[in-house]
């Protein structure tokens, strides 16, 4: 019997394979968590606070317990023995304050959406109906909405026991910033606001917990991190880890919002344990807006010291980062994750970094596509464009005078990161060519000269980012609880198919396709002969899941290395069967051949021979099966040049993207189609932040953009056609040469768009438009409605180089 298999047609790396997942996803032959229905399953509904801040005087669920279909109803205090506080995994500083965060609050509500009580019923409708029978008496407390006000001495406190709204303070100095200021000819100072965003994964959060035996549970969750969920739910709910199986079935997007361990996951587990029946909860869109993490929400102050010839000397960054009411899994770390990226691609001599985390009575923030790096990139790329304008130097030319030249790699930045590779000149040259940079600059001049009502602006963003989270030692140094390795198992089935078991957890990225290509090349098997096994802690016992553009860089490397181990196992068996010395057996495209002879075995033949185990070499075991666990030594650093041309209608304030060109360098490309898709989606999300999206609260702490009517997610009609291209400078820190692409578009595009809008309006004296650049904001800027503020911000320019300090006293406790 001989195993049959297709021989691979050619190398898979670089082939634009259509995604294996898409037919199933597009035709609906798939399974989301909310599709799971189990015999006897109960439904959870959560009563959420309508107030931003209040003391709970009474929560009475007795009437709800009598409602039709209701099995149980509980308040926060009823759960005192069921679970502890939800986890925060990143101790970012010694002074970090971690307030208790219970899945159902026990004493106070601290944001609109905070859970007050729960109902479990035989149907979802019965559970939702019964919520209305719960009687709650709130004693209203003052909302804390504004970060600056929250730090004032007399501010009401979100958590009284903490005695402050300051969650943490962080300071880091690289080089002597003040010394650069002393000799600088110019100092640029700006304040940028990075507004609150709502992630809007297409699939809302959802969880089902099935008590499969006494104290044994299977959990389905719409999560990016099934392995994290298993560990942390064990800790929070007290079910032994080995009695929990977590499955993330098809997951409809996350963007970081499902990189968390949520109250409802703990609740469903605790309730399934109490009630002995399966329990399901699925968020409505409105619930997701309140009770799933938000993103960004920073006030970013920057100073750049420079010489008149454009040479940049020092960079000072001071951030206020809004935590919201509680700390979720990674909340305090997000702004800090970007701290090494503020110097970006530029050769600063000194970098000073400050960040203060602030509690407010709003939905907690956490990772959102880019997590720290968009915040850094927005600040530095906005500031460099502003500096260029103030110095009268072309925005690209100013960058050229300061960026790391390609021959200078590897280069250690002022922040201490060593960038292994890059070629900013090449990406920029290609982008300017595709964009017709000079032609558009000419048109811009012409429109300015004839005072056209439609002005043209050109925005630049030459970003870099750090991907491949993360070296475990680096994570330890920054206070993170876990490591950053990834684990792959590669095995050949008896009939010569390959199974790749990988601990990253796809939720839209196309892992099954990309990883099949990596494994197919390494094993010399056909793309269709590879099955990628993911998203289930029973079948994938080890893994650290998906975030931070890590899957291919870390996980792909693990797959490659495990596959190479399998090839070596097979080589030994081939030598044995072909009666040759191992060193004489060559491997190419799935066939082992004795050098200089016709004697050969295919990898499929060897898989069956190993399975049969009839004749194995001395000391070897049956089965071709190997694993590799890769802990990266460093990060990878994708980069690129994004250019955006925006037409601003000065009569209405409307901004229309005329053209968008991006040339990204993500290293070696495994699948150009997948990369293209990631870039398109990321750029769309970044444009959305620049022009449309804004999670807004009123002064009472109500989310005023609580539906898709008010929170503007752009659709295809609102976005331009993207012109994309790539340069390929392979990473030298992993064998595939890949760098990661999941977040690049979202990181790069936002400053490119805002820079373009501001550039269009510079003749009107405009130096900034706060995001999102709404028509009204743009129109007011054109009208000079903000002339006062703009002039004030500029008044120390360029001669006044005295130390500015901060607009608000952050030193006050």
Partner 1 sequence: MIPVAFDYAAPTTIDEALDSLAAAGERDVKVLGGGQSLLPVLRMRLAAPELLVDLSRVAELRGVRDDGDAIVLGAMTTHDEVVRDPLVRQHALLLSAAAATVADPQVRHRGTFGGNLVHCDPAGDMPAAALALDAQMVVAGHAGRRTVEAADFFEDLFQSAVHDGELLVEVRVPKHTGWGAHYEKFQRVAQAWSIVGVAATVRAEGDTIVEAKVGLTNMGATPVRARAVEEALVGQPASDEAVRAAAARAAEGTDPPTDANADADYRRHLAGVLTRRAVLAAAGTA
Q: What is d(CA 143, CA 156) in angstroms, rounded to the nearest whole number? A: 8
Question: Binding segment for partner 1 among 375-383, 429-437, 504-512, 708-716 (CB under 8 A)?
Answer: 708-716
Burial classification of residue 347, based on how many CB atoms lie within 10 Å of its CB (0-12 exposed, 13-18 middle, 19 or more buried): middle
Residue from the set 34, 129, 260, 385 that interacts with partner 1 by CB under 8 A: 129
Check: CB of residue 323 under 8 Å from CB of residue 360: yes
**Token code pair at residue 201:** 């994964």
Closest contact distance (angstroms) between CB of 50 and partner 1 is 12
Closest contact distance (angstroms) between CB of 279 and partner 1 is 17
Query: Which one, of 763, 749, 615, lies nearest residue 683 by Cα?
Result: 749
Q: What is d(CA 34, CA 208) in angstroms, rounded to the nearest whole number? A: 8
CB within 8 Å of 35: residues ≥ 6 apart: none
Site for partner 1 in 749-788 (CB under 8 A): 774-776, 779-780
CB within 8 Å of 795: residues ≥ 6 apart: none
CA 325 to chain centre: 21
Q: Give, in order, the Cα–Cα distances in Å from 201 to each of 158, 208, 368, 713.
A: 28, 19, 11, 11
Name the residue nearer to partner 1 (CB basis): 35 or 808. 35
Closest contact distance (angstroms) between CB of 652 and partner 1 is 6
Residue from the set 80, 125, 182, 476 that interacts with partner 1 by CB under 8 A: 125
CB within 8 Å of 636: residues ≥ 6 apart: 420, 466, 467, 468, 553, 667, 731, 733, 734, 738, 739, 740
Site for partner 1 in 717-756 (CB under 8 A): 717-718
**Interaction pattern, residues 675-694, with partner 1; x per rule: CB under 8 A:** -----------------x--
Beta bridge partners of 298: 194, 321
Closest contact distance (angstroms) between CB of 131 and partner 1 is 10
SS3 category, 294: strand
Query: Which one, of 63, 236, 241, 52, lies nearest residue 140 by Cα?
Result: 52
Query: Which one, of 304, 260, 299, lies nearest residue 283 by Cα?
Result: 260
Closest contact distance (angstroms) between CB of 124 and partner 1 is 6
The per-residue DSSP string of 590-636 comes to: TEEEETTSS-EEEHHHHHHHHHHTSS--TTPPSS-EEEEEE--SS-B
Counting contacts by CB under 8 A, is residue 450 touching partner 1?
no
Closest contact distance (angstroms) between CB of 689 and partner 1 is 13
Name the residue nearer to partner 1 (CB basis): 535 or 689. 689
Name the residue nearer to partner 1 (CB basis): 283 or 801. 283
Closest contact distance (angstroms) between CB of 250 and partner 1 is 21
Name the residue nearer to partner 1 (CB basis): 157 or 454. 454
Closest contact distance (angstroms) between CB of 196 and partner 1 is 14
Name the residue nearer to partner 1 (CB basis): 42 or 89. 42
Counting contacts by CB under 8 A, is residue 539 touching partner 1?
no
Name the residue nearer to partner 1 (CB basis): 696 or 812. 696
Question: Binding segment for partner 1 among 297-305, 379-387, 474-482, 714-722 (CB under 8 A)?
Answer: 714-722
SS3 category, 232: helix
Which backbone phi and psi does 96 adopt, to 5 degrees? -60, 130
Query: Which one, of 337, 449, 334, 441, lies nearest residue 397 by Cα?
Result: 441
Query: Which one, of 665, 524, 505, lies nearest residue 587 by Cα?
Result: 524
Closest contact distance (angstroms) between CB of 453 and partner 1 is 9
Name the residue nearer to partner 1 (CB basis): 239 or 688. 688
Q: What is the dihedral sign for C-alpha 414, 416, 417, 419?
A: positive
Query: Which one, of 229, 215, 280, 204, lies nearest residue 535 by Cα?
Result: 229
Question: Binding segment for partner 1 among 29-37, 307-315, 334-342, 711-719 (CB under 8 A)?
Answer: 711-719
Question: Binding segment for partner 1 among 354-362, 483-491, 650-658, 732-740 (CB under 8 A)?
Answer: 650-658
Residue from the set 714, 720, 765, 798 that interacts with partner 1 by CB under 8 A: 714
Residue from the set 22, 176, 581, 710 that interacts with partner 1 by CB under 8 A: 710
DSSP H helical ranges for 407-496: 424-435, 437-449, 472-477
Site for partner 1 in 486-505 (CB under 8 A): none
**Interaction pattern, residues 789-808, with partner 1; x per rule: CB under 8 A:** --------------------
Burial classification of residue 300, based on how many CB atoms lie within 10 Å of its CB (0-12 exposed, 13-18 middle, 19 or more buried): buried
Name the residue nearer to partner 1 (CB basis): 696 or 791. 696
Residue from the set 712, 723, 787, 806 that interacts with partner 1 by CB under 8 A: 712
Total chain residues near partner 1 (CB under 8 A)? 29
Question: Binding segment for partner 1 among 219-227, 268-276, 557-565, 713-721 (CB under 8 A)?
Answer: 713-721
Residue from the set 128, 426, 580, 623 that interacts with partner 1 by CB under 8 A: 128
**Interaction pattern, residues 604-643, with partner 1; x per rule: CB under 8 A:** ----------------------------------------
Residue from the set 25, 476, 582, 713 that interacts with partner 1 by CB under 8 A: 713
Closest contact distance (angstroms) between CB of 678 and partner 1 is 23
Closest contact distance (angstroms) between CB of 195 and partner 1 is 13
DSSP H helical ranges for 43-116: 62-65
Closest contact distance (angstroms) between CB of 771 and partner 1 is 13
Residue from the set 583, 715, 721, 795 that interacts with partner 1 by CB under 8 A: 715
Counting contacts by CB under 8 A, is residue 578 touching partner 1?
no
Name the residue nearer to partner 1 (CB basis): 142 or 775. 775
Q: What is d(CA 294, CA 44) in angstroms, rounded to the nearest whole number? A: 23
Name the residue nearer to partner 1 (CB basis): 173 or 710. 710
Beta strand ranges found along 418-528 (DSSP E) = 418-419, 454-464, 486-492, 498-502
Q: What is the dihedral sign for C-alpha 416, 421, 427, 429?
A: positive
Beta bridge partners of 171: 354
Residue from the set 173, 241, 433, 651 that interacts with partner 1 by CB under 8 A: 651
Q: How many residues does the chain have?
A: 813
Query: Which one, of 510, 500, 519, lies nearest residue 560 by Cα?
Result: 519
Beta strand ranges found along 198-294 (DSSP E) = 206-213, 216-221, 244-247, 279-282
Counting contacts by CB under 8 A, is residue 652 touching partner 1?
yes
Counting contacts by CB under 8 A, is residue 451 touching partner 1?
no
Q: At what angle do helices 373-391 and 744-761 cross, to 10 degrees?
A: 30
Counting contacts by CB under 8 A, is residue 705 touching partner 1?
yes
Q: What is d(CA 581, CA 575) in angstroms, rounded to the nearest whole number? A: 6
Closest contact distance (angstroms) between CB of 445 and partner 1 is 24
Counting contacts by CB under 8 A, is residue 77 touching partner 1?
no
**Interaction pattern, residues 258-297, with partner 1; x per rule: CB under 8 A:** --------------------------xxx-----------
Which residues lie near partner 1 (CB under 8 A)?
124-125, 128-129, 284-286, 651-654, 692, 696, 704-705, 707, 709-710, 712-715, 717-718, 774-776, 779-780
């Amino acid at each position: 019997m001989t195993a049959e298999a297709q021989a691979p047609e050619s190398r898979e790396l670089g082939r634009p394979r259509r995604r294996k997942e898409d037919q199933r996803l597009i035709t609906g032959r798939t399974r989301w968590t909310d599709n799971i229905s189990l015999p006897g399953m109960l439904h959870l509904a959560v009563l959420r606070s309508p107030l931003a801040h209040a003391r709970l005087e009474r929560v009475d669920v007795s009437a709800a317990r009598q409602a039709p279909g209701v099995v149980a109803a509980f308040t926060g205090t009823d759960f005192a023995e069921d679970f502890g506080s939800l986890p925060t995994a990143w101790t970012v500083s010694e002074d970090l304050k971690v307030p208790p965060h219970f899945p159902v609050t026990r004493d106070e509500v601290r944001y609109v959406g905070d859970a007050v009580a729960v109902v479990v019923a035989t149907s979802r409708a019965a559970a939702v109906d019964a919520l209305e029978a719960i009687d709650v008496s709130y004693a209203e407390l003052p909302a804390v909405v504004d970060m600056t006000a929250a730090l004032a001495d007399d501010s009401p406190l979100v958590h009284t026991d903490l005695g402050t709204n300051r969650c943490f303070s962080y300071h880091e100095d690289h080089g002597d910033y003040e010394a650069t200021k002393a000799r600088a000819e110019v100092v640029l100072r700006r304040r940028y606001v990075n507004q609150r965003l709502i992630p809007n994964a297409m699939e809302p959060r959802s969880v089902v917990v099935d008590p499969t035996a006494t104290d044994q549970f299977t959990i389905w969750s719409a999560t990016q991190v099934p392995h994290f969920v298993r560990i942390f739910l064990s800790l929070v709910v007290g079910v032994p880890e080995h009695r929990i199986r977590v499955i993330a079935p098809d997951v409809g997007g996350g963007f970081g919002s499902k990189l968390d361990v949520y109250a409802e996951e703990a609740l469903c587990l605790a309730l399934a344990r109490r009630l002995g029946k399966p329990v399901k909860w699925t968020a409505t869109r409105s619930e997701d807006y309140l009770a799933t993490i938000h993103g960004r929400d920073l006030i970013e102050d920057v100073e750049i010291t420079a010489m008149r010839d454009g040479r940049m000397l020092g960079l000072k960054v001071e951030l206020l980062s809004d935590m919201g009411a509680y700390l979720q899994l990674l909340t305090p770390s997000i702004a800090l994750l970007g701290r090494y990226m503020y110097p970006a691609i530029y050769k600063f001599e000194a970098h000073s970094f400050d960040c203060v985390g602030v509690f407010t009575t709003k939905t907690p923030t956490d990772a959102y596509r880019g997590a720290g790096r968009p915040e850094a990139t927005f600040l530095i790329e906005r500031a460099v464009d502003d500096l260029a304008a103030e110095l009268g130097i072309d925005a690209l030319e100013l960058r050229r005078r300061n960026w790391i030249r390609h021959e200078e790699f590897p280069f250690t930045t002022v922040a201490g990161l060593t960038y292994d590779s890059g070629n900013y000149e090449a990406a920029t040259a290609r982008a300017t060519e595709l964009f017709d940079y000079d032609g558009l600059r000419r048109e811009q001049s012409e429109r300015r000269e004839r005072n056209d009502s439609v002005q043209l602006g050109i925005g630049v963003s030459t970003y870099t980012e750090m991907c491949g989270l993360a070296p475990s030692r680096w994570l330890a140094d920054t206070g993170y609880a876990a490591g950053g390795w990834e684990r792959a198992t590669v095995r050949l089935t008896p009939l010569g198919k390959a199974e790749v078991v990988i601990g990253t957890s796809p939720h839209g990225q196309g892992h099954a396709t990309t990883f099949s290509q990596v494994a197919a090349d390494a094993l010399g098997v056909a793309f269709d002969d590879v099955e990628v096994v993911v998203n289930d802690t029973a079948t994938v016992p080890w893994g650290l899941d998906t975030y931070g553009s890590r899957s291919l860089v870390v996980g792909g490397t693990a797959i490659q290395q495990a596959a190479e181990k399998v090839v070596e196992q097979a080589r030994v068996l081939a030598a044995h069967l072909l009666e040759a010395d191992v060193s004489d057996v060559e491997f190419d495209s799935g066939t082992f051949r004795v050098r200089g002879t016709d004697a050969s075995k295919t990898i499929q033949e060897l898989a069956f021979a190993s399975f049969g185990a009839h004749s194995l070499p001395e000391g070897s075991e049956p089965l071709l099966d190997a694993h590799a666990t890769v802990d990266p030594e460093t990060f990878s650093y994708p980069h690129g040049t994004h250019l955006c041309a925006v037409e601003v209608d000065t009569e209405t304030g409307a901004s229309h993207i005329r053209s968008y060109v991006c040339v990204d360098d993500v290293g070696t490309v495994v699948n150009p189609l997948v990369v293209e898709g990631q870039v398109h989606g990321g750029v769309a999300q970044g444009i959305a932040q620049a022009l449309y999206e804004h999670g807004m609260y009123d002064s009472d702490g109500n989310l005023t953009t609580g539906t898709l009517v008010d929170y503007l997610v752009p659709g295809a009609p609102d976005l331009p056609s993207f012109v994309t291209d790539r340069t390929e400078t392979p990473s030298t820190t992993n064998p595939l040469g890949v760098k990661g692409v999941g977040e690049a578009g979202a990181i790069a595009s936002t400053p490119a768009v805002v820079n373009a809008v501001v550039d269009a309006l510079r003749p009107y004296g405009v130096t900034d438009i706060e995001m999102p650049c709404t028509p009204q904001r743009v129109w007011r800027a054109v009208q000079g409605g903000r002339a006062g503020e703009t002039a004030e911000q500029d008044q120390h320019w360029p001669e006044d180089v005295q130390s500015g300090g901060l607009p608000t006293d952050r030193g006050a406790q």
